[in-house]
Amino acid sequence: MIALLRRMFGVGGGTPQIAAAHPRDAAAIAALHAQSFHRGWSDEEVESLLVDGRVLAHSLRVGGAFAGFVLSRRAADEAEILSIAVARRHRGRGFARQLLNLHLGRLAALGVKALFLEVDESNAPAIALYRGAGFREVGKRPNYYPLPGGRTAAALVLRRDIA
Ligand SMILES: CC(C)(COP(=O)(O)OP(=O)(O)OC[C@H]1O[C@@H](n2cnc3c(N)ncnc32)[C@H](O)[C@@H]1OP(=O)(O)O)[C@@H](O)C(=O)NCCC(=O)NCCS
């Protein structure tokens, strides 16, 4: 029913397109990051990542409008996924899975053999995304993420090897 309404009224509709992110995407990435995480990134922080030769970045557009991003940083033959987010209205439609798969393929082509990332242990959608992409838990950092009200959350450290 929801899919039918989306098709009828174009709500959240449009063709998804994934491409290498450009420094001009910095403001859109920073805005989506700020909506998605407790600690945001400034436009300048994102811009400096996008011009860093070790950083690989992809953006998602749906119907031409910016709708998501993924960023990783390489060091030798390893890489860390720094962040991934999809705009709220487009979540649950497989877009993060597509973004991550394409991104992992590009990292593999660049010679990356192992991938790491940290994720809040209570972030069920992200953990489902990463487990489905073959990441496994290799560590845990207690009290890693500061939360409002002085609370903290633990980070899981996940790893995936690329054969
Ligand atoms: C995590 C996030 C990127 C997922 O984006 P998405 O486009 O909704 O994800 P997809 O539709 O591609 O689904 C990916 C997987 O997660 C699962 N998933 C999606 N939303 C979920 C939810 N609310 N609860 C549990 N699992 C969920 C899907 O079932 C899917 O698993 P599968 O491929 O095994 O079926 C999105 O929720 C987001 O932007 N969150 C805020 C930013 C964030 O937390 N990023 C991760 C930081 S480490």
Rounded Cα distance, 16 and 63, in Å? 7
pLDDT of residue 128: 98
Averaged over 121-147, what is the pLDDT?
96
For the chain, the residue count is: 163
What one-character-per-residue DSSP string does 7-62 give? Answer: HHH-TT-S-EEEEE--GGGHHHHHHHHHHHSSS---HHHHHHHHT-TTEEEEEEEE
pLDDT of residue 38: 82
pTM across the whole model? 0.92
CA dist 30 → 9, 19, 70, 87, 143 (Å): 29, 17, 12, 12, 25
Superfamily the domain 2-161 falls into:
Gcn5-related N-acetyltransferase (GNAT) (3.40.630.30)
Kindly report, residue by residue over 86-127, the tens digit of the pLDDT.
999 999 999 999 999 999 999 999 999 999 999 999 999 999
Kindly report, residue by residue over 12-60, the tens digit of the pLDDT.
568 899 999 999 999 999 999 999 988 889 999 999 999 999 999 999 9
Determine how β-strand 55-62 pairs with β-strand 16-20.
Answer: antiparallel
User: Does any ligand 1 atom lie closer than 6 A to the CB of residue 94?
Assistant: yes
Contact of 97 with 90, CB cutoff 8 Å = no
Q: Is 130 exposed, middle or buried (0-12, 13-18, 19+ CB in 10 A)?
A: buried
Averaged over 63-73, what is the pLDDT?
97
Mean pLDDT taken over the chain: 92
pLDDT of residue 13: 66
Averaged over 132-158, what is the pLDDT?
94
Averaged over 120-146, what is the pLDDT?
96
Rounded Cα distance, 85 and 82, in Å? 11
* Nearest atom (ligand 1) to Cα of 118: 48
User: Does any ligand 1 atom lie closer than 6 A to the CB of residue 144?
Assistant: no
Averaged over 115-141, what is the pLDDT?
97
- Provide the pLDDT confidence category of residue 4 given band limits of 50, 70 and 90: very low
For residue 75, the CA-to-ligand 1 centroid distance in Å is 26
User: Does any ligand 1 atom lie closer than 6 A to the CB of residue 69?
Assistant: no
